[in-house]
Amino acid sequence: MKSIQVRKLKEWFIEKAILLSGIFSVVFVVLIFLFLLREGFSLFRGESVIDFLFGKSWYPISQPPRFGILPLILGSLLVTLGAAAISVPIGIAAALYIAEIAPQRLKEILKAGIELLAAIPSVVIGFIGMITLGPWIKNLFNIPTGLTALTGSVTLAFMAMPTIVSIAEDAITAVPRQYREAAIAMGATKWQTTWRIVARAARPGMVAAVMLGIGRVVGETMAVMMVTGNAAVIPRSFLQPVRTLTATIAAEMGESVQGGPHYAALFAIGIVLFIITFLINGVADLYLHRSRR
Amino acid sequence: MHPRLTQKIAHAVLLLATLLVVLPVLIILAIIVGKGASAISWDFLFSMPRDGMTAGGIFPAILGTLYLVLGAIIFAVPLGVLAAVYLVEYSSDNWLSRLVKLSIVNLAGVPSVVYGLFGLGIFVTFFGFGASILSGSLTLGIMILPVIITSSREALESVPKHFRIVSLSLGASRWQTIRHSVLPHALPGILTGMILGLGRAAGETAPILFTVAAFYLPRLPQSIFDQTMALPYHLYVISTQVPGIAENVRYGTALVLLTLVLLLNLAAIILRSRFRRKKKW
Amino acid sequence: MVDAPVKFSIRAFHVRYGQFFALRDLHLDILANEIFTVIGPANSGKTTFLNSLNRLIDLVPASRCSGEIKLDDVDIRHGMEVEALRRKVGIVFALPLPLPLSIFENVVYGLRMQGIREPQRLAEAVERSLRESYLWEEVKDRLSTPAMNLSGGQQQRLCMARILAGQPDVLLFDEPTSGLDPISTARIEETMLVLKEKYTIVLVTNNVAQAARVGDRTAFFLMGDMIEASATSKMFTAPADKRTSDYITGKFG
């Protein structure tokens, strides 16, 4: 029958389209890397990779320009570590509360609240941080400007926490009921069960949650740009303005000449960022797999 | 210390931590509403800016955001839903499907500014679209692809397996089964993912910095090859680079953006919980 | 019965999951218009056997089949499309599995997938198949109500009607009454006895007494092998293999 053949042909096309769509995600990852390389590679004709990664001076508009990103790496590192120090303990604690202790109704409200926090655009958080947190820190520590690494850490902590809380909460909830029941049957209190048994069992998932939260912080651009002061120098304390890798790209792309060395250098920073987040997400995914088994 | 006492303290500490995470949402909302509400007016929302942005409204930014977000969805939803169909209905646990899943995880983790660079490199430069709504939408579309794929996957996986088995046993082909016995039941979940994607695309600044956004355009965009203003970029510029703008205008802009994004996310959350309760199986 | 044509001929058929054999070296003929029952303890390969007859086994990604199964002398793997096979060989599962649709839409699902859309044809098929499964009188006034609202026994008969609408040749039953009360069970068994006039029936059952009640011929499966197959009366009075008689008399199960 002709109509059966037509239908079979249509289905063949649809199934090919489905297969292609699946493969597209792989294609995009490869494309991103390739295009970063394409625009960024020309930098390395005039400068070695070592000089780029470990050079202490980032002076893109001086004559001759210097493209060492160590200050930027250290800036990102400082802000990230600070944000992690704040968000990890609080985030894990909140995840434990929501997963194990909160009553059902409250749990749903809290989870919704955290989803909403995660949804707030980074430019809005940066705006609030800049206008409220900045001056507050300036007055608190009596320093020339409130836009510092510390401000960045606190602001970014608020962006990492929802990620950490929701993934850790999933991991904790996934711990099989038998673990808890066995502990309670042996006379443990709820807290002892939660802390000694459940948290330990959920550890791979919690590690993944922390890594993904850190990954989010490393990749943050707008909020960081608005609160860390944008000084591309090697930081000596938390109370100094710093510059992160991400903010550098966003702030300086407009000033660079397309195809020129500054332009290429910014793309090269993009390569570094891509690799860093690739690694963080890859390892986090491994941990998530371990926790699901 | 007595275990009961330890428990009381521990629980209190955890509750405190939870509040520390959740309260900032309310505080941020309170501040922005408090200081920005006074700027909101019909004029503010629907008229063009005047006097170098110090007067008039932000209508072009709102419109621009809507264009970009719509474009992103048009690109990301068909591609993302079909990719999810591939993962759930067609792939077996082989190297290809694991590679696809790994790629999705990585796309989800790429920093937004790197998406901006990618958009600049491929759409603006390589394809020659220039800084335009087209470049911006495509860039945003790729960025929200993981969101669409992940939520569509969950929606498809939640359809009971026996629907597929019954349909196939009655002589339906694989695609017929998906089209008639699986997809219709996954639609609410897919819709939820779409709304989440909309919210995400509306709030992002870095991907549109180099691919489409302009601060002050004398007229509204006429085609997809034009640049446009957009809310997140607008907020960024008026709060960091333009002096002399009234404080409540800055807060008002933030309020408009925040309201848009939060309403979309709230809609998704409500839709998702109603769907979970209403399941007919 | 001796001269009945062969419906299914199965030769050297194996189903493997990695190194584990779910079915081993199966040689069997199923005759037209008989009720062929398959008995055996859990994990003996009964359901795998059934799922091989309509190639639902293909849905299990790790499975590997070898050997030959022919339906009306046509190879079911290489000689016909799998959708055509499944329309000729319908299956009723152990649990009633209505689709989340109305009664009417459940019954015509297979027909719609074939492209049949004329309301007249569909309505005729619905009445005919619901009568054949003895459900028509109970539901004729509410065909557009959700199928999920029916009782378990009614849903199972709906599942039968669903297959019958497509006018198949063979009906496969996978422990169809294991979840039902005795009255519904009896009704389904009666229906099977009527249906065998038009159709060939293969029935897998955990209930040895059910095989004795309705089976024309019976096969006993144990751990992937078919131990013996013969006329039901003979198998239950004088089985050839000691394992068969042990199972039938309940020494193991």
pLDDT in tens, A80-107: 999 999 999 999 999 999 998 889 899 9
Q: Give me the pLDDT at residue A179, please.
A: 86
Q: In chain A, which ranges are continuous DSSP H helix? A: 2-40, 43-46, 49-54, 70-96, 104-119, 122-128, 134-141, 149-173, 177-185, 190-192, 199-201, 203-219, 222-227, 245-252, 261-292
Torsion of CA B31, B32, B37, B41, to 10 degrees: 170
Whether C2 has a pLDDT exceeding 60, the answer reads no
* Spans of all domains in chain A: 2-40, 50-292
pLDDT in tens, A188-223: 888 888 888 888 888 888 999 999 999 999 999 999
Q: Give me the pLDDT at residue C1, please.
A: 47
The alpha carbon of residue A222 is apart from the nearest alpha carbon of chain B, in Å, by 7
Q: What is the DSSP string of B119-171?
A: HIIIIIIIS---SSHHHHHHHHHHHHHHHHHHHHHHHHHTS-HHHHHHHHHTT
Whether B143 has a pLDDT exceeding 80, the answer reads yes
pLDDT in tens, C86-129: 999 999 998 889 999 999 999 999 999 998 989 999 999 999 99
Specify the pairing of strand C89-92 against strand C170-174: parallel
Say if domain A50-292 classifies as CATH 1.10.3720.10. yes
CA A74 to chain centre: 16
**A interface with C, Cβ–Cβ below 8 Å:** 3-4, 7
pLDDT in tens, C189-223: 998 999 989 999 999 998 888 998 998 999 999 99
Judging by beta carbons within 10 Å of its beta carbon (0-12, 13-18, 19+), is residue B10 exposed, middle or buried?
buried
Measured between CA atoms, the residue of chain C closest to residue A2 is C115
Q: C30 Cβ partners below 8 Å, 6+ apart? A: C6, C7, C8, C9, C10, C36, C200, C202
pLDDT in tens, C129-172: 999 988 999 999 999 999 999 998 899 999 999 999 999 999 99
Query: A110 and chain B: CB distance < 8 Å anywhere?
Result: yes
- Chains contacting B (3 or more CB pairs within 8 Å): A, C
Q: Give me the pLDDT at residue B273, please.
A: 85
Note the ipTM here.
Answer: 0.90
Among A206, A178, A193, A111, CA closest to B11: A193
Measured between CA atoms, the residue of chain B closest to residue A270 is B114
Judging by beta carbons within 10 Å of its beta carbon (0-12, 13-18, 19+), is residue A7 exposed, middle or buried?
middle
Interchain proximity B14–A165, CB inside 8 Å: no
Helix (H, G, I), strand (E, B) or coil at A269: helix
Q: What's the CA angle centered on B223, arms B222 and B225, to 5 degrees?
A: 125
Residues 175-214 of B with CB under 8 A from C: 176, 180-181, 185
% helix, strand, coil for chain B, step of 5: 75, 0, 20
Kindly state the percentage of chain B with pLDDT values over 90. Answer: 57
Say if domain B58-278 classifies as CATH 1.10.3720.10. yes
Q: Give me the pLDDT at residue A293, please.
A: 58
Measured between CA atoms, the residue of chain A closest to residue B238 is A127
Contact B136, B257 (CB under 8 A): no
Q: A196 Cβ partners below 8 Å, 6+ apart? A: A183, A188
Rounded to the nearest integer, the mean pLDDT of chain A is 89
Interchain proximity B109–A277, CB inside 8 Å: yes
pLDDT in tens, B35-87: 988 888 888 888 887 776 667 788 888 999 999 999 999 999 999 999 999 99
The alpha carbon of residue A10 is apart from the nearest alpha carbon of chain C, in Å, by 14
Give phi and psi for C201, each to the nearest 5: -125, 130
Q: How far apart (Å, rounded) are the C-alpha atoms in residues C170 and C52?
A: 13
Measured between CA atoms, the residue of chain B closest to residue A215 is B109
Interchain proximity B121–A24, CB inside 8 Å: no
Q: How far apart (Å, rounded) are the C-alpha atoms in residues B103 and A145?
A: 42
Determine the average pLDDT of the residues in A134-142.
Answer: 88
The alpha carbon of residue A18 is apart from the nearest alpha carbon of chain B, in Å, by 5
pLDDT in tens, A38-64: 988 888 887 888 888 888 888 888 888
Q: Give me the pLDDT at residue A153, please.
A: 93
Q: Give me the pLDDT at residue C60, please.
A: 87
Whether B277 has a pLDDT exceeding 80, the answer reads no
Determine the average pLDDT of the residues in B244-257.
Answer: 88
Interchain proximity C91–B169, CB inside 8 Å: yes
pLDDT in tens, C83-95: 999 999 999 998 8
**Closest by Cβ to B205, choosing from A15, A222, A249:** A222
Q: How far apart (Å, rounded) are the C-alpha atoms in residues A189 and B10?
A: 12
Query: B279 and chain C: CB distance < 8 Å anywhere?
Result: no
Establish how many alpha carbons lie within 13 A of residue A115's alpha carbon, considering only the half-sphere containing its beta carbon.
19
Q: B96 Cβ partners below 8 Å, 6+ apart? A: A22, A23
Measured between CA atoms, the residue of chain A closest to residue B255 is A124
pLDDT in tens, B163-210: 999 999 999 999 999 999 999 999 999 999 999 999 999 999 999 998
Whether A1 has a pLDDT exceeding 60, the answer reads no
Q: Would you tell me how many other CB atoms lie within 10 Å of the CB of residue C44? A: 23
The alpha carbon of residue C247 is apart from the nearest alpha carbon of chain B, in Å, by 31
Using pLDDT thresholds of 50, 70 and 90, give the confidence band for residue C246. confident
What chain C holds in terms of domains, given with CATH numbers, is: 6-248 (3.40.50.300)
Q: Give me the pLDDT at residue C165, please.
A: 94
Whether B223 has a pLDDT exceeding 90, the answer reads no
